[in-house]
Amino acid sequence: MRVIPESHLDLLTRPLFAHLATIGPDGTPNVNPVWTIWDGEYLRFTTTTDRRKCRNVQQNPNVAVSINDPEKPYRYLEIRGVVERVEPDPSGTFFDVLAKRYGLAYEPPLGDAERRVVIVVKPTRTTQQ
């Protein structure tokens, strides 16, 4: 079964910012713009272990993601899903993939590489317009 509708797949293949919602320890939502990449099965995000979103998903794996089309802002995709795992990225290799995808020039090695992780999300359902 395809979770992501073909009609909105371009919102994941283009390097658009995604707004990732997580739930804090007090049960209230957090949301901010992040880089993402989709491999057909998982959405992946880069962060560091000291960031709020990483602490949040380790306590509560339920997340939601909103991406809209900058050219047609009423066209959007919401993905709800579950964090399956948080993987270490101590070499910054995954950060590098995303930095290239989003056109960020930076001077390697990454200063925070030892705290870098990959948040791996399995989509469960979507809504779109």
Where along the sequence are the contacts to a second copy (CB under 8 A)? 17, 19, 21-23, 27-33, 62-66, 68, 70, 73-74, 76, 78, 80, 127
Nearer to a second copy among residue 58 and residue 91 (C-beta): 58
Distances (CA, A) of 87 to 51, 53, 91, 92, 104: 15, 14, 12, 12, 22
| Nearest residue (CB) to a second copy, 7 versus 88 | 7
Comparison of 55 and 80: residue with beta carbon closer to a second copy: 80
CB of 68 to a second copy, least distance (A): 4
Nearest-5° Cα angle at 62, 19 to 4: 60
- Closest CB to a second copy among 16 and 86? 16
Q: Shortest approach of a second copy to residue 37 CB, angstroms?
A: 16
